Amino acid sequence: MPPRGDDETVALRAVEAPPADRTMLLRKVEADRDGDPDPAPGGRAARRKAAQGAGKRAGKHGSRARRGTAEADATRAAEGAGSAGDARPRTRMEARRAARARKDSPGVVASRVVGELFITLGVVMLLFVTYQLWWTNILAHQQANGAANSLQKKWDESGDERDPGTFSPGQGFAIIYIPKLDVKAPIAEGIDKHKVLDRGMVGHYGKSPLKTAMPWDKKGNFALAGHRNTHGEPFRYINRLKPGDEIVVETQSRYYTYEMSSILPQTPPSNTGVIKPVPPGSGFTEPGRYITLTTCTPEFTSTYRMIVWGKMVDERPRSEGKPDALVE
C-alpha cells in the first residue's frame, strides 16, 4: 500500500491498524461450525447429557443419508427394469413375430438335414469298406486255417485214403501251398461263393459243365478258383508267379508238385476253354497232368479273369515227408 500523504512530514504519526479481514473471520466461523462443539458448561452430568443429544442428532442425519441412498438404488433398478421390459414384446402379435424370427428358415433346415444325411452315408460307407477289406479277411483266415488243420489232423488219425470223386459240395479234401507267396489254403469241392470261396478256401471245378480232373488222375487239368481280394484273398498275388515257381497240393496220402508255366493276364469270364484238359493259350500241346488257377482281375473288381497254368513235376507219398518246395 503506498504511504499516506501527510503535511507534517517531520512529526511522528501513529500508524492506523488495517481493517480486519472479513474473509478470515468468515473462515473462522465456518471452522467453528465444522469443528467439535465447545464443551458444555457445568459438571459431568451436564456434559453427558450434551453428548447424548449430539448422538441423537447424528443418528437422525445418518438415517436420512441411508434413506436417500436406498431411494437412489430403487430408482436405478426401476429404470433398468423399464428398459428390459421395453425389449420384450408388448403384445401377443409381437411375441408371435419374434418367435417366427427366431426359427430357422426352411432352407437352413433342409441344408442341415442334407448335411447330416451325407455324414451318415459317409460313415456307413467307411464301415462297409472296413468290413470288406479288413474284417472279411480276418474271418476267412480263421475259417481257412481251422479247416486246413482239421484236414491234417483227420488224415493223421486215419490211414485210409478216400475214393476219388466222392466229395460233397463244400467238403475239403486237399491243401494248396504256394511257397513264393506264403499261401496255404484248404481246397474244397465246388466253387460256391458262400459255402467255399467266401470262407477263405480254394474251390475245385468239380461239377458239370465245368468239371475238371483231380490231382491223382493220370491225365487231366486240375482247375481251381479263389478270391483275389477280400475273404482271405488266397490268389491275390498269383500275377507275381514266374515260370518254374512251385505250387504244391497235399492230399490225405500224397504230395503233388507243379511248376508254373504260363499266365493269361486277362480274359472274359465266359472263356471256359482255359480249364479244358489241354487249355488253348497255355503252351500245352498234348494231354498231361496240369493245374489251372483262376481269379478276378483287375483288383477289387470281377470284370475279367486272370489265369495261371502249371505242370506236374513231382508226386510222392506223405509218408516220405514234405517235398523240397515245402522244406525251409
| Positions marked catalytic | 227, 296
Alpha carbon distances (Å) from 218 to 166, 242, 251, 273, 287: 17, 26, 16, 20, 10
Alpha carbon distances (Å) from 132 to 108, 220, 281, 286, 305: 36, 36, 34, 42, 20
Task: Indicate the SS3 state at residue 44.
Answer: helix
Tell me which residue of 257, 234, 256 sits closest to 246, measured CA to CA: 257
Burial 182-200, CB ≥16 within 10 A → b, else e: ebbbbbbbbbeeebbbbbb
Residue for grid cell 447429557: 49
Length of the chain measured in residues: 328
Task: Indicate the SS3 state at residue 94.
Answer: helix
Are the C-beta atoms of 255 and 315 separated by less than 8 Å? yes
Q: How many CA atoms lie within 13 A of 269 on its CB side?
A: 9
Calpha distance 319→253 (Å, rounded): 8
